[in-house]
Structure 1
């Protein structure tokens, strides 16, 4: 399989993860555990509003991923969000996580996939940097 084809497939998968988590899990509130985690971590009664905002931002991130704009910056942003969020949840709400302690492993695997897709399979941006050198 060509690098560019693999890059497109992985890009769609990554955008789908953010879209599903933002729209289905948070905005449509089909996975109430997310709201429970936010309420627990932030100790707030406004967790529904915060979950809606987070969901909208995740949908926006999915759109950003699909546009292909500033893919490497986007990847760094995704990795930072996923790792930060999972460290906070690991420390403050481990008992509420779907896979408990293993959640951090899945987060790291996701971050690696984001990194590889943006920095190794992204032929277009990699070629642009090669021609500038």
Structure 2
């Protein structure tokens, strides 16, 4: 595992722990009536998909940085469609908790996306 992937893995573990603790603090202490039992699974889902995608993007960046932007855009589109299908699947399966799930899903999506874009920007700067 290269240095950039270790850095990303460390940061994604840290982000997951922070989001887990924030969710626990929010749902267990402040608003238990809005607790979503699936919050840890949402975090695990985003942790796994984000790390897999980042690993693939790092491999592309090492081989050919000129093709990187094309792969990045294609993979981002596919990932977004996958996330949409997962959210839609949960929405159709459990309409009673759909609003709460979508809010939590979007919070996790935004947090992991911001981290991923920041790290990819760092990688691109290093490769130029």
TM-score range, shorter chain: 0.3 to 0.5
The structure that is helix-richer by fraction is 2
Q: Greater RCO between the two (CA within 8 Å, min separation 6)?
A: 2
The two structures have a TM-score, normalised by structure 2, of 0.40
